[in-house]
């Protein structure tokens, strides 16, 4: 209940913030909201179960394609809100099924094997778009959702799309927060810490890993749907290896396992490249063209290395460190510091259940 209230408050605050932004910023906010949903899924997957997925962009793309297909099919026969809902269900289903397949593979793999498999998946996405009926390079278009009559004098289309994206990602992330602090989150940490010990305490690692992959995939798919709402299309070019790595960067920067960190990380990876490219326009044209897009990637790479070397808990850990300077000395705990420990009533259940 408290969680729902908190989620509603944050969502309302974000929606209120859209009034202070111009249309382009609102478009960026919609993008950041979609990315946030995906990064939240990814950060829980990496931080709680240690499974590094380099292919979360493909899960977003799967959600986008699922949304486009379902929403386009229903838009002809049903009113737009129904089409939006159908599209979201389609997005969650496609991403969830792809995540389940990956998760089944992930349960048998560890560390580098999984990362390599997901990397091969990203590289194969443009080929898949050409070979499967996904519309090739152009991709699929999604229906345009116009501003409702009652609001049309009040807000612009970009702001409306930002609202939709914010609500979608709130709906995607809130269950994830509940999952993370509940008994399933505890099981994931147990598996990450010591698989053998987890098995001895009656936690079966296979289903836990697979479940974590599905739980990380569905928000990513909904995030892809939010991007499709904002851009009215989904194409393979937008979900390449560079974007996929940016999702990992956002999760690492924010602090692996932290949802609040994921929010900060996704705003950074959306806003910083744009800021740097705007600044690069000021330098001479030739140099500017070289810096365009590359300088941001260079900075992100350097920061990722620095964060991994110096502060593995990321920005989220930095903030909690400021808030509570006198906590226990930081030992290599699997949970990022400052996160609420799982409630006590869920603990004994892991001993009795299989």
Partner 1 sequence: MERFVFLLSNGLARGAVLALFALSLVIVWRAARVVNFAQAAMAVVAVYAAFALTAASGSYWIGLLGGLLTGALLGAAVERGLMRRLPNRTPLPGMICAIGLVMVLQAGLAIAFGPQHRPMRPPFSESPIVIGGVPVLSPYNLFVLATAAAVMGALALLFAKTSLGLRLRAAAFAPETSRLLGVRVPRMATIGWTLSLATASLAALLLVPVELGLNPHSVDLLFVNAFAVAVVGGLDSPIGALTAGLGIGVLVSLVTGYVSAAAAPLAVLALLTAVLLLRPGGLFAAKEARTA
Binding residues (CB under 8 A) for partner 1: these are: 46, 50, 52, 54, 104-105, 108-109, 111-113, 115-117, 119-121, 123-124, 126-128, 130-131, 195-196, 199-200, 241, 245, 248-249, 252, 290-291, 294-295, 297-298, 300-305, 308-309, 312, 332
For the bound state, the minimum distance from the C-beta of residue 193 to partner 1, rounded and expressed in Å, comes to 10
The pair of structure tokens assigned to 265 is: 């990380």
CA 252 to chain centre: 12
Distance CA(84)–CA(90), nearest Å, equals: 10
Smallest gap, in angstroms, from Cβ of residue 55 to partner 1? 11
Which residue lies nearer to partner 1 by CB, 46 or 177?
A: 46
The Cα–Cα gap between 62 and 172 comes to: 15
Instruction: Please report how close the Cβ of residue 8 comes to partner 1 at its closest, in angstroms.
Output: 34
Q: Which of 10, 353, 342 is nearest to 179 (CA)?
A: 342
The least CB distance from residue 332 to partner 1, in Å, is 7
Complex with partner 1: residue 88 or 252, whichever CB lies closer: 252
Nearer to partner 1, 195 or 318 (CB): 195
To the nearest 10 degrees (0 to 180), the angle between helices 205-231 and 157-181 is 170
Nearest distance in Å: CB 293, partner 1: 8
Cβ burial of 125 (10 Å; 0-12, 13-18, 19+) is: buried
Which of 4, 130 has the CB closer to partner 1?
A: 130
Residue 87 or 336: which CB sits closer to partner 1? Answer: 336
CB closer to partner 1 out of 19 and 113: 113
Q: Which is nearer to partner 1, 42 or 142 (CB)?
A: 42
Q: How far is the CB of 178 from partner 1 (least distance, A)?
A: 25
Closest C-alpha among 249, 248, 254, 299 to residue 277:
299
Of the two residues 141 and 204, which places its CB atom closer to partner 1 in the complex? 204
Instruction: Write down the least CB distance from residue 228 to partner 1, Å.
Output: 23
* DSSP letters for 266-326: HHHHHHHHHHHHHHHTTS-HHHHHHHTTHHHHHHHHHHHHHHHHH-TTHHHHHHHHHH--S
In contact, 71 and 90? CB cutoff 8 Å: yes
DSSP letter for 1, please.
-
Number of Cα atoms under 13 Å in the Cβ half of residue 184: 18
* Closest CB 300 distance from partner 1, rounded Å: 6
Q: Coil, strand, or helix at residue 233?
A: strand
């Amino acid at each position: 209940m408290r969680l729902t209230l908190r989620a509603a408050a944050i969502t309302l605050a974000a929606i209120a913030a859209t009034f202070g932004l111009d249309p382009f910023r609102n478009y960026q906010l919609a993008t950041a909201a979609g990315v946030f949903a995906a990064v939240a899924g990814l950060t829980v997957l990496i931080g709680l179960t240690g499974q590094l997925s380099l292919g979360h962009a493909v899960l977003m793309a799967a959600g986008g394609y699922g949304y486009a297909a379902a929403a386009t099919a229903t838009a002809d026969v049903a009113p737009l809100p129904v089409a939006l809902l159908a599209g979201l269900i389609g997005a969650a289903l496609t991403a969830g099924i792809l995540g389940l397949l990956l998760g089944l593979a992930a349960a048998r793999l560890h560390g580098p094997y999984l990362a390599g498999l997901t990397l091969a998946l990203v590289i194969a996405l443009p080929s898949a778009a050409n070979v499967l009926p996904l519309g090739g390079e152009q991709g699929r278009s999604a229906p345009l959702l116009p501003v409702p009559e009652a609001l049309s004098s009040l807000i612009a289309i970009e702001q409306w799309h930002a609202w939709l994206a914010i609500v979608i990602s709130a709906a995607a992330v809130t269950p994830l927060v509940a999952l993370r602090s509940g008994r399933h989150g505890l099981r994931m940490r147990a598996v990450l810490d010591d698989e053998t010990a987890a098995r001895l305490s009656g936690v079966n690692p296979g289903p836990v890993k697979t479940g974590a992959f599905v739980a990380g995939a569905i928000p990513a798919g909904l995030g892809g749907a939010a991007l499709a709402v904002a851009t009215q299309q989904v194409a393979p070019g937008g979900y390449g290896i560079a974007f996929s790595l940016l999702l990992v960067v956002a999760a690492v920067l924010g602090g692996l396992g932290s949802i609040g960190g994921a929010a900060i990380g996704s705003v950074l990876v959306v806003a910083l490249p744009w800021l740097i490219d705007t600044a690069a326009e000021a330098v001479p044209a030739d140099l500017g063209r070289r810096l365009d897009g590359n300088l941001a990637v260079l900075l992100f790479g350097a920061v990722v290395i620095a964060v991994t070397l110096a502060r593995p808990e990321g920005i989220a850990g930095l903030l909690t460190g400021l808030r509570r300077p006198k906590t226990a000395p930081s030992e290599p705990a699997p949970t990022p510091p400052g996160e609420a420990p799982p409630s006590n009533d869920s603990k004994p259940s892991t001993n009795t259940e299989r």
